[in-house]
Amino acid sequence: MWNIKKIKKTFNILGLYNEFNAKYFGNKLGECKFEDSADPCDYIPAVAAIEYRNRRNGAKAATITFNSMVDWDERSIRQVLLHELIHFYVFTRLGFCPCFQHGLFFIINMLRINIMHNEHVRMFWHGEKITWSKDRPC
């Protein structure tokens, strides 16, 4: 079981966030918090989930929750964090819109990052026990 302290420390999440924000999103991503789903009340059906906030000053913020039950490793953390950050980027640029979830803007940015930067972001996650699917927020 992974809690957020262990995830942050093991994979240097804040370092990865800063690296991705600078490299792939022009430092346009705002405040981002990271949590785990270790508490049964925070249960999420997906490998990860993101929640958005509009702050009073108009800035966009987000909280990313990692599923504590996933068997995380360097590669999966990188892929999943990037997937969620693309969602954050779409929200930052467009707010809530019809193509918000895994729409065109998400796909274009996923392809841009995968092709130009040799990453392996996926739209859906086919883990052994926990998956991302179309009708689940992730």
Q: H-helix or E-strand containing 85? A: helix 74-94
83 vs 112: CA distance, rounded Å: 12
The residue number with the shortest CB distance to Zn ion is 138
Query: Closer CB to Zn ion, residue 9 or residue 134?
Result: 134
Query: Closer CB to Zn ion, residue 13 or residue 82?
Result: 82
Please name which of 55, 65, 39, 62 lies closest in space to residue 136, comparing C-alpha atoms.
65
Query: Closer CB to Zn ion, residue 4 or residue 110?
Result: 110
Q: How far is the CB of 74 from Zn ion (least distance, A)?
A: 20
Q: What are phi and psi of 36, to 5 degrees?
A: -120, 170
73 vs 63: CA distance, rounded Å: 21
Q: How far is the CB of 138 from Zn ion (least distance, A)?
A: 4
Query: Closer CB to Zn ion, residue 2 or residue 125?
Result: 125
Site for Zn ion in 79-138 (CB under 5 A): 138
Number of residues that bind Zn ion (CB under 5 A): 1
Lookup: tokens for 107: 């796909």
Q: Which residues bind Zn ion (CB under 5 A)?
A: 138
